[in-house]
Structure 1
Amino acid sequence: MIETSGSTGVPKRVALSVDALLASAAASAGAMGGQGQWVLALPAHYVAGAQVLVRSLAAGTEPVLYGEGHFDPLRFAALAGELTDDLRYTSLVPVQLARLVDAAEGGAREVGSALRRFDGILVGGQALDRGLRERAEMLGARLLTTYGSSETAGGCVYDGAPIGTTLVREVDGLLEISGPTLAEGYLGDPERTSAAFHEEDGVRWYRTGDLGDVHDGRVTVRGRSDNVIISGGEKVLLDSVEQLVRSRPGLGDAVVVAADDPRWGQVPVVVATATADLGGLRALVAEQLGRAAAPARIVTVAELPHLSSGKPDRVAAAGLARGDARDEPLA
């Protein structure tokens, strides 16, 4: 049983069978070039961390455990040096990768060496900024972005390609997934289970709730369907705004959330640890995504709230946004 993070809603207890977990581990090994030894740098009670343990059991290797505490690039680098298997892997969320890249670029040679030591680094949990990926790959890191959820036993799409026998399709703009890694359902919640899982022509499908499309076998994820607001009568996909905001210097860890507005209904608000030129940011977003998507303001905090999984705590970030003074959105 895996409890979801609850980053945007009520936590759910996802029931996964042994067969689903092992099918995911086998598909991952096939996509990564074989089984190997792992550094476990994520909490084991979330699916990405649990899958590191499952993959290790399937491979017969002993994982190196990071343990609790603040993610420190030097400590991670030291643990990477303890790996002894021919094939070496780890699984990270983007904020961890960003800290490693910052440290390596800042002169920590052992961190750069650690990044190059891995035969594969899975990065998931949220969208990976293209600029961060390019910086990591310039340092020699071999990255694979992952898409999936607890309901699919973790990542089932690597770099846009379904792994193993996973099938992904688009239905009315939303992604659905089928394959041997699907969960049994939600523990003690038959109504939610029947709403998320359904059978068609003898094939069981999971409704992800994610916006996206599939072309020539490649999956593109646009963002959560429940992370859409109506601002001034126009739809705004906050995930798209966030990806664009994160491309700006100093805003690589920014979170974009919704805030109520007496004039526009709701507006996007940026919560970040760095200050930025609001006018320039508004103009950039308006040019590429439309005026309704332009952030109304930037809330600067000392530290962004995160869940224990490493993902941003969007509920807490939205609370921070609500507590700040309002500015008028771009006219």
Structure 2
Amino acid sequence: MRLEPPASDDPRDVLRALRAGVLGAGPAVALGAGGRVDEVPSGTAVVVTTSGSTGVPKSVILSRNALIASAYATAARIGEGAWLLAVPATYVAGVQVLVRALLADREPAVVAGPFRPEPFAAAALGMASHENGARVPTYTSLVPAQLQRLLDAAETDATVTDALRSFEAILIGGQALAPAVAERAHALGARIVRTYGSSETSGGCVYDGVPLDGVGVAVVDGEVRLSGPMLAEGYLRDPERTASVFPTAADGTRWYRTGDGGEIVDGVLRVTGRLDNVIVSGGVNVSLDRVEAAVRGVAGLEEAVVVPVPDAEWGQGSAVVVPGLSPDDEGAVLERVRAVVGAAVGAPARPARVVAVAELPTLSSGKPDRAALRAALGHDPRA
């Protein structure tokens, strides 16, 4: 099957390409930095290429069947209706918003350009419609940073509040959502659904810790593994990585090794963080995801990012990067976070620095650019 990029990254062009790639005879759609490759496996709908937060490129092959299975499983869990696209159309979360709209035979609403609360609110409230006397439910997908901006704006703009309350469900994915942000959203009346998944699973496939219909979840040697009809075919032109990341069990079940640590309690998955996002501080393994979760529980630090930094005494340490913080407050904030992290994770995990920045560098997906932060703070991401 032929693989081609859309005419541009504009959501309307991506939607047209997906209509042919998912519902029609193709060609398959190349999204991201993958350029054009002449042939891909039969049945391919999309190849999503992204470097992610680590800076390591990967091109994920998604079939029509995988995307459709994911979209239908989402509808079975949260319902059907109209969708608003507010994340990049070239990332898997954006692809799935468009696929859900295509399968529902509804034109998606689109917020184009840099994300701002006012256009989002206008687009959300403009979606109001009725069929057979009943309101058509509306849905959207956001990353935590977008939700944070909307909640901040809602404090002084009732229109943004009304927009957030208008959705039947707001899917939040891409990274962990700080508990304080989730509590603010709930208090405002926004219906938040935390999703877990990746490009390799056609987007989120575990909602609020519970797998969607048809999704299998297991924790093997501390690593979360996922199975189901929405799994990717593998990685383009990378059979070794494909075989390693998508092993087949003795019973024939094909699994995706997420690289995340986690546990299952009473049928609910709790993800504890990346298994490779660990430093050794004074001979003790420290999960930076656990450190970041503790830091984000501090009021005013919900958007903080924790990254590794060199430490002359301990070998490795961590720095807390805080957007919007005054440099004059770094010392006081460091004392607070060291106390919080020491109590929650342990003394070896206490951050060595707090770094104030005007704003965080981000990827086009809206996630923090951790590779750029590590490089800026003197840590080689390849080390």
Note the C-alpha offset of 1:5. Answer: 4.0
- Take 2:99 and 2:364, find their aligned partners in 1: how far apart are those partners? 20
1:301 aligns with 2:357: yes
- Take 1:36 and 1:3, find their aligned partners in 2: how far apart are those partners? 29
Output aligned runs, 1:63-78, within 5 Å: 63-69=108-114, 71-78=115-122
Letter in 2 for 1:286: G
What's the secondary structure of 1:322's corresponding residue?
coil
Pick one of 273, 289, 304 that aligns with 1:239: 289
2:174 is aligned to: 125
Letter in 2 for 1:74: E
8 Å contact from structure 2 (residues 84, 141) kept in 1:
yes
Note the C-alpha offset of 1:280. Answer: 2.0
What's the secondary structure of 2:247's corresponding residue?
strand
Letter in 2 for 1:317: L
Note the C-alpha offset of 1:318. Answer: 1.2
1:61 is aligned to: 106
1:166-187 CA-to-partner distances (Å, cap 9, x unmatched) read 0000000001101000000000
Output aligned runs, 1:267-282, within 5 Å: 267-273=317-323, 274=325, 275-276=329-330, 277-282=333-338
- Take 2:195 and 2:50, find their aligned partners in 1: how far apart are those partners? 17
Output aligned runs, 1:15-30, within 5 Å: 15-30=61-76
1:253 aligns with 2:303: yes
Aligned residues: 320
Residues 1:5 and 1:122: Cα distance change in structure 2 (over 3 Å): farther
Output aligned runs, 1:155-194, within 5 Å: 155-194=204-243
8 Å contact from structure 1 (residues 245, 251) kept in 2:
yes
- Take 1:213 and 1:281, find their aligned partners in 2: how far apart are those partners? 26
Q: What are structure 1's unaligned runs of at least 5 residues?
A: 324-331
Q: Structure 1-normalised TM-score?
A: 0.95
8 Å contact from structure 2 (residues 178, 293) kept in 1:
yes
1:95 is aligned to: 145
1:326 is aligned to: none
- Take 2:184 and 2:309, find their aligned partners in 1: how far apart are those partners? 32
- State, as a whole percentage, how many aligned pairs show the same letter: 55
1:214-269 CA-to-partner distances (Å, cap 9, x unmatched) read 12221110000110111110111111111111121221111000011121111011
What's the secondary structure of 1:198's corresponding residue?
coil
1:115 is aligned to: 164
1:176-199 CA-to-partner distances (Å, cap 9, x unmatched) read 101000000000110110110011
**Moved segments of 4+, more than 6 Å:** none
More moved, 84-93 vs 109-118:
84-93
What's the secondary structure of 1:203's corresponding residue?
coil
2:377 is aligned to: 321
- Take 1:144 and 1:249, find their aligned partners in 2: how far apart are those partners? 22
2:18 is aligned to: none
Note the C-alpha offset of 1:97. Answer: 0.1
Structure exhibiting the larger radius of gyration computed from Cα positions = 2
Superposed CA RMSD in Å reads 1.1
Note the C-alpha offset of 1:272. Answer: 1.1
8 Å contact from structure 1 (residues 5, 307) kept in 2:
no
What's the secondary structure of 2:372's corresponding residue?
helix
Letter in 1 for 2:374: A
Pick one of 312, 315, 324 that aligns with 1:265: 315
What's the secondary structure of 1:2's corresponding residue?
strand
Q: What are structure 2's unaligned runs of at least 5 residues?
A: 1-46, 130-135
8 Å contact from structure 2 (residues 319, 354) kept in 1:
yes
- Take 1:79 and 1:99, find their aligned partners in 2: how far apart are those partners? 16
What's the secondary structure of 2:127's corresponding residue?
coil
What's the secondary structure of 2:200's corresponding residue?
helix
Higher RCO (Cα < 8 Å, 6 or more apart) = 1
What's the secondary structure of 1:236's corresponding residue?
strand
8 Å contact from structure 1 (residues 91, 123) kept in 2:
yes
What's the secondary structure of 2:255's corresponding residue?
strand
8 Å contact from structure 1 (residues 232, 264) kept in 2:
yes
What's the secondary structure of 1:199's corresponding residue?
coil
1:219 is aligned to: 269
Letter in 1 for 2:375: G
8 Å contact from structure 2 (residues 180, 299) kept in 1:
no
8 Å contact from structure 2 (residues 118, 160) kept in 1:
yes
Note the C-alpha offset of 1:320. Answer: 2.7
1:151 is aligned to: 200
8 Å contact from structure 1 (residues 87, 119) kept in 2:
yes
- Take 2:61 and 2:337, find their aligned partners in 1: how far apart are those partners? 42
More moved, 266-275 vs 180-189:
266-275
Pick one of 76, 83, 86 that aligns with 1:41: 86
- Take 2:348 and 2:77, find their aligned partners in 1: how far apart are those partners? 40
2:52 is aligned to: 6
Q: Structure 2-normalised TM-score?
A: 0.82
8 Å contact from structure 1 (residues 271, 321) kept in 2:
no
